[in-house]
Amino acid sequence: MTGKAAVTTALESSYRVVVIGAGLAGVSAANALLASGQFTANDVCVLEAQSRIGGRIQTQAFSKTLPVNVEVGAAWIHGTEGNPFTKLAQKFGIAFKEVSPRNPWLHPGSCSDFLFFDSREQLADELVMETWEWQDLLMRKLQTLATSDKSSDHDEKALSAIVDHLVASDPELRDVVKGPNAQARMDLCLRLIEVWMGVSDNAIQLDDFTEIDLIGDNPGAHCIVPSGMERFIDHLAESVKETIHTNTCVASINYDGPAGVVIECTDGQRVTADHVVVTCSLGFLKSGRLHFQPELPVAKATAVKRSQMGQYMKILVEFPKVFWPENATFMAQLKDRSNSKDDTERRIYFPVVFNYYFAKGVPIIEGVLVGEKASEVSTTFSDDEIARALFLQLQDTFGPDIPEPVNHFITRWDQDEWAVGAYSCLTVESSNEDPEILRQTVANRVLFAGEATVYKYQGSLQAAYLSGIPVLILLFALQRTTLQHSDIMPDLTAEAFETPLTSSYRVAVIGAGLAGVSATNALLASGHFGASDVCLLEAQSRIGGRVHTQSFSDTLPVNVEVGAAWIHGTEGNPFAKLAQKFGIAFKEISPRNPWLHPGSCSDFLLFEGSRQLSDQQAAETWEWQDLLMRKLQALARAADRDGHGDKSVAAVVDDLVASDPQLVEVMAGVNARERLDLFLRLIEAWMGLTADDLNLDAFVETDLMGDDPGAHCIVPAGMERFIDHLSEPLKDVIHTNVSVSAINYDGPDGVVIECTDGRTVTADRVIVATSLGFLQTGRLHFQPELPSVKTGAIKRSKMGQYMKVLVQFPEVFWPKQATFMAQIQDNSSASDCNGRRIYFPLIFNYYLAKNVPILEGVLIGDKASEISASFTDEEIAHALFLQMQDTFGLDIPEPWSVGAYSCVTVQNAYEDPNVLKQTVANRVLFAGEAANLKYQGALQAAYFSGA
């Protein structure tokens, strides 16, 4: 649709909502409106001036002869953690390519192969590292200054002047910033900050540094999108395409009349609407080409005037071949020769260039110009001259013999009639309240969205996307309609809209894993607690805890579950109901529990080395296992457990096969012991503990813990969807990145909760929903100490280990219909092979589950801990490959890529869950999967314990 969006439906004369602009914010707003179920495509209309949609997202081919995707506009996903684009990418199957694990402009030390040159000389790694240390130090000093009472002394100063002042006056900086090229290297640090902010240093204000990270600097990796940023627009626009009318430019908005808002277009068309959502860029608003009648309120008009658009110019130059270090990410040139008089040609200084070869495998170098420099170059240089200037600088770096460029591609957003600049930014003239003012609704009718309206992520894609969503809430508020579920809403939990933490609550919930989210949800749903009564504190930047779905890899963006993956038994399982409510689909793998009743699971294949056991032998194996299970249960329920009370399950099985007449008979069969041992391995996979660590307690119930009746399923859309939906009503109460360090439940004012960042919160009651493992670390201090029965149970209970090993192959070489494949031959001690061995008793076929050539092995308990500590990911993947060679022959293809994930479940003494659950001093409640015996370790346990 992008680039050729045709008007499919004619423009009606009136709508409930008209959105102006089909850039990211406009499309996101329309999407949220329709997804809410409260608006139909007939109620909403999006008017876009251009013939294409996407606005400042625009992907196109570099040239006819080199049709690689280049981004005219937004190119980077800035920080993947907590970024709604990470979720959208998963949802739409869009892959990211990581360039740097952190922000390469603000934390360049994190970015590998960021090379430095002083003319032709490449600087030693130590000097580069030293420079990045200076930058870190400088950023910290700027923060200290920005938050000090001296900050106003520097109000009028350009950043470079402040930095000069700091370097001269701060003893620490003065001491370290010296040595070869000190000044030039320090300047480069400034240039990087400029690139990040999109303005020249004289326009950057000290205020920008008050936040720990600069505006928009999300945690997580910084990535590009190889298939093109426009894919996001394509997907988001798909469900709203009927509402979009391209080639329709709005000239005026009259919001004063009796018939609602009247919107006039430049071609004379006129539409009315109850509400209008303005998403055109700040640059366009500043141009004055959109007339408001009556004029906008003074505060808004002043904010529009005062706020500035930054400039960002990209210069992509293609060469016949790569003559620079192929592995470089960025290359910085310290020597600025733009003012040198000995050149016959005009010069431009590009402080840092980006290696497109690293990004996309093509011989292109990208230079970037920002701020005033960009405007100046854009108005006075031709494309050829700019490309030539970049070539000259590369000659300075790599010598005069480098090949001449063959082509170039240059963006000039300052001259774009609709964007009028690249993105908004805070400058010395503006205030950090401006985005908020720009967002304010006028006369209850005119709403505003767009990247300039969200302070926290100003200028970025997140800002544009997130700004579109609250439009929905506002509309509901204005229309007094109730909020309904929508697919988009989960992103509202994003920090951008977090309500600040206040000092006291009725209930504080600690930990936003499933139990914490479910507890909070139950509190709010009860009607007895409002959003201001409750807070949910989460240490990580994401919620969900051990429910965590992510993309397998950049190139294979299929959902994989880092944590919980299975719905264990659909009958009576609250998740079956939740799935129905939220429209989340299950994919059934087995009609019953495949670990405890593998006979019920079709195509559960058994191998002994390379020989596949016959169906008959497999069926016989499952019968033996049923028998063994029944024997273990009988023993577990016997009054004195026949003297087996303290033994491990492994030892009990040894006793049984030697003494129980029925089992003794079984032992006469072919491979009987190996096949019975497989039973133990399956029990281990189910329980997350090895048979040496398990005791008969686990077998008391008719079905083992958590073994609900019904099918065992996976969730193709990702288990995190449940968290998304359950947390939807909690957006005002969730506080991420808040790590609780102490709970004092003895004082007169209720419970005092201390956080690691020094904040304290009081509450009448606290619900502790952190994992047992975290309680065991002792990092959460209770004052007074917890009662000794409770601490005893915490100490005694054990966290199980569960390590998933996912290995991607170029193609499927195993039986495609297989569910699980069990290998009864343990070759882990074999020494005849080129690689360390690990035994994977059970392999799950991801092809059946998700149509991708991936196999999943699972390691449990101490074995998992041991392997995790002593093998690398590659070695583990190789070990799985070796075992596959044992099974399917030497000619199977080598693996491509591997993902190893560890998670922990819990296991403890029979009565411990009840102890763990007990409330302390009527004030401290406990929830979490460890506090529910029946489903211990499973999602249900966490969910029920919370509710």
Ligand X SMILES: Cc1cc2nc3c(=O)[nH]c(=O)nc-3n(C[C@H](O)[C@H](O)[C@H](O)COP(=O)(O)OP(=O)(O)OC[C@H]3O[C@@H](n4cnc5c(N)ncnc54)[C@H](O)[C@@H]3O)c2cc1C
Residues forming contacts to ligand X in the complex (CB under 6 A) are 20-26, 47-50, 55-57, 73-76, 78, 249-250, 279-281, 284, 290, 312, 314, 411, 413, 418-419, 422-423, 450-451, 459-461, 463-464
With CB atoms as reference, the residue minimizing the distance to ligand X is 23
Give me 795's structure tokens.
């100490």
935, 941, 945, 947 alpha-carbon torsion, rounded to 10°? -120
For ligand X, the closer CB: 491 or 728? 491
C-alpha–C-alpha distance, residues 272 and 268, integer Å = 13
Alpha-carbon distance of 258 to 262, in angstroms, equals 10
Q: What type of residue sits at position 775? A: L
Smallest CA-to-CA distance from 723 within 482, 879, 516, 540 is with 516
**Alpha-carbon Rg of the chain, whole angstroms?**
31
Distance CA 432, CA 339 (A): 35
CA distance 859 to 83: 31
Q: Which two tokens stand for residue 420?
A: 């009028």
Measured from the CB atom, is 439 or 765 closer to ligand X?
439
Which residues of 791-851 form beta strands (DSSP E)? 798-808, 820-823, 842-845
Coil, strand, or helix at residue 512? coil
Distance of closest approach, residue 260 Cβ to ligand X, in angstroms: 18
Are residues 274 and 43 in contact, defined by beta-carbon separation less than 8 angstroms? no
47 three-class SS = strand
Minimum distance of ligand X from residue 191's CB (angstroms): 17
Q: Residue 442 Cβ, how far from ligand X at the closest point, in Å?
A: 16
Angle between helices 470-479 and 461-468 (to 10 degrees): 20
Return all residues near 90 (Cβ < 8 A) that are at least 6 apart: 549, 550, 551, 557, 559, 718
> Least distance to ligand X from the beta carbon of 104, Å?
11
CB nearer to ligand X: give 49 or 864.
Answer: 49
Helices then strands, counting H and E runs in the chain, come out as 29, 42
Nearest to 457, CA basis, from 469, 473, 443: 469
Which residue lies nearer to ligand X by CB, 310 or 405? Answer: 310
Nearest residue (CB) to ligand X, 35 versus 265: 265
Token pair recorded at residue 717: 């859309």
CB 621 within 8 Å of CB 820: no
| 3-state SS class at 754 | strand
Given the complex with ligand X, which of 151 and 458 has the nearer CB atom? 458
Between vectors from CA 71 to CA 67 and to CA 76, what angle results, nearest 5°? 130
Minimum CB separation of residue 289 from ligand X in Å reads: 7
d(CA 796, CA 614): 44
CB nearer ligand X, residue 34 or residue 685: 34
Instruction: Write down the H helix ranges in 399-539.
Output: 434-439, 461-468, 470-479, 514-525
Q: Which is nearer to ligand X, 23 or 937 (CB)?
A: 23
Alpha-carbon span 143 to 147, nearest angstrom: 6
- Closest contact distance (angstroms) between CB of 228 and ligand X is 13
Q: Considering beta carbons, is residue 68 or 742 the nearer one to ligand X?
A: 68
Give the 3-state secondary structure of 530-559. Answer: CHHHEEEECCCCCCCCCCCEEECCCCCCCE
Residue type, 188: L
Cβ 880 to ligand X shortest distance, Å: 38
Q: Tell me the two tokens of residue 674.
A: 């190996």
Closest to ligand X by CB, 46 or 743:
46
Q: Which is nearer to ligand X, 78 or 681 (CB)?
A: 78
How far is residue 536's CA from residue 540's CA, in Å, rounded to a whole number? 12
Minimum distance from residue 30 beta carbon to ligand X (Å): 11
Look at residues 277, 281, 359 and name the one whose alpha carbon lies nearest to residue 44.
Answer: 277
CB of 249 to ligand X, least distance (A): 4
* CB closer to ligand X out of 233 and 740: 233
Nearer to ligand X, 419 or 799 (CB): 419
Minimum gap (Å) between residue 282 Cβ and ligand X: 9
